[in-house]
Structure 1
Amino acid sequence: MSDNSPTTPSAPAPEEVEAAMAAHADDELARLQGELAELKAKSAELADQFLRAKAEAENARRRAEDEVAKARKFGIESFAESLLPVADSLDAALAIKEATPQQLREGADATLRQLTSTLERNKVLAINPAAGTKFDPHQHQAISVVPAEQEANTVVAVLQKGYVIAERVLRPALVTVSASK
């Protein structure tokens, strides 16, 4: 037989295929190892950022707690400071050994005005309903119900003033209320 048949390209030898696959695998391995190294570096960077952010959040929380504690501790400071002149007035009144009843009365009135002014500056307002005012259970506490010549459920008399601070009742006014007819 003659070799006139067309030559078929010869298939690569198995060693060549193995070498090519090994080279390709080595390239792929190197590429993947590079990616892995990049991802590890990125992961470490993100972990570091996370820890820093967590520490910063913890520090901010602690600072906020400290500020709240200080606000609670010193929040009343300005109110207490505004009461000092009232205390000074009372001390001065007690220091007078031979005061007349008239002087004591005038001093007590002046000190009461001073105290009332201080309370008002600090948003502490008196609840002192006039007779005939409709009874308000949110601001008044009925001590007794009495027959009266006025509309039912209205204030007849105030036994003790109440007080509010910033629209919140500190103490309700103690009142007597008219009975229904």
Structure 2
Amino acid sequence: MAEPKKDDFLDDIEDAEAEAYAEDMAEIDDDAAELDALRAERDELKDRFMRALADAENARKRADKDRREAENYGGSKLARDMLPVYDNMKRALEAAGEQTEATAALIEGVELTMRELVNVFRKHGIEPISPAVGDKFDPNHHQAMFEAPVPGTKSGEIIQVAAEGFMLHDRLLRPAQVGVSSNPG
């Protein structure tokens, strides 16, 4: 038998090292690809988590806003239905005129009831809009019931107040009903 040559032995070692190196490099490439895939999956999951967190925060804020609005404005239908009661009691007091001994107790009872109604309104954030004759017409708070040219007034001035308006917190519940001057400039 022939003895292996030293060069052949070295070539075999080099080939084995090259193969091992190639395997190591392939393994490193596989590990790097797996690491890249894991990073991409992590980034995707992190993005989904952040979006879900933002959605949950938005839902919480929306629910909180809805709760506050329901608390502040939930009774607006009832409040609107109570305004004619206020108007009728006010008309009754204005029509009472002279008090006699017989009507004094009745008028006092209506006044006390009216005061209690106003206190309940205030307690629930309902404030009257009470324009005066001569004030400037504001379409955000007043409703023009008629226009008339009245001497001595400017166009857009209130010339008569037919009914008070009301605000519920920062929302208009009912505009004040007014007559407006239509005098030219």
Q: TM-score, normalised by structure 2?
A: 0.58
Paired position in structure 2 for 1:27: 24
Q: Are the structure 2 counterparts of residues 24 and 53 from structure 1 closer, same or farther at C-alpha, using a change threshold of 3 Å?
A: same
Residue 176 of structure 2 is matched in structure 1 by 173
Return the alpha-carbon distance in structure 1 between the equivalents of residues 115 and 127 of structure 2.
Answer: 13
Q: Is the 8 A contact 1:158 1:175 kept in 2?
A: yes
Residue pair 1:147, 1:179 contacting (<8 A) in 2 also: yes
Q: In angstroms, what is the RMSD of aligned CA positions?
A: 3.9
Query: What secondary structure is seen at the aligned counterpart in 2 of 1:115?
Result: helix
Indicate yes or no: 2:168 matched with 1:134.
no
Q: Are residues 129 and 63 of structure 1, via their aligned partners in 2, closer, same or farther at CA, if it must alter by over 3 Å?
A: closer
Q: Is the 8 A contact 1:150 1:178 kept in 2?
A: no
Percent identical: 23
Q: Is the contact made by 1:164 and 1:170 (CA closer than 8 Å) also made in structure 2? A: yes
In 2, the alpha carbon distance for the partners of 1:69 and 1:134 equals 35
Q: Is the 8 A contact 2:141 2:175 kept in 1?
A: yes
Structure 1 spans left out of the alignment, 5+ residues: 1-9, 80-99
AA in 2 matched with 1:108 = V
Of residues 146, 167, 182, the one that matches 1:164 is 167
* C-alpha distance 132-110 of structure 1, shift in aligned 2 (>3 A): same
Structure 1 residue 123: Cα displacement: 4.0
User: Where does residue 18 of structure 1 map in the other structure?
Assistant: 15
2:116 to 105, 114, 117: 114
Question: Which residue, out of 147, 150, 153, partners 1:145?
Answer: 147
Unaligned residue ranges in structure 2 (runs of 5+): 1-6, 77-101
Say whether the 8 Å CA contact 2:72–2:169 is kept in structure 1: no
CA drift at 1:149 = 3.7
- Structure 1 residues 136 and 73, CA gap change in structure 2 (3 angstroms): closer
Distance 1:34 1:171, change over 3 A: same
Partners of 2:52 and 2:125 in 1: CA distance: 41
Question: Are the structure 2 counterparts of residues 54 and 101 from structure 1 closer, same or farther at C-alpha, using a change threshold of 3 Å?
Answer: same
Distance 1:173 1:69 in 2: 28
- Is this contact kept in 2: 1:145–1:178, CA < 8 A? yes
Q: Which has the larger radius of gyration?
A: 1
Cα offset, 1:22, TM superposition: 0.9
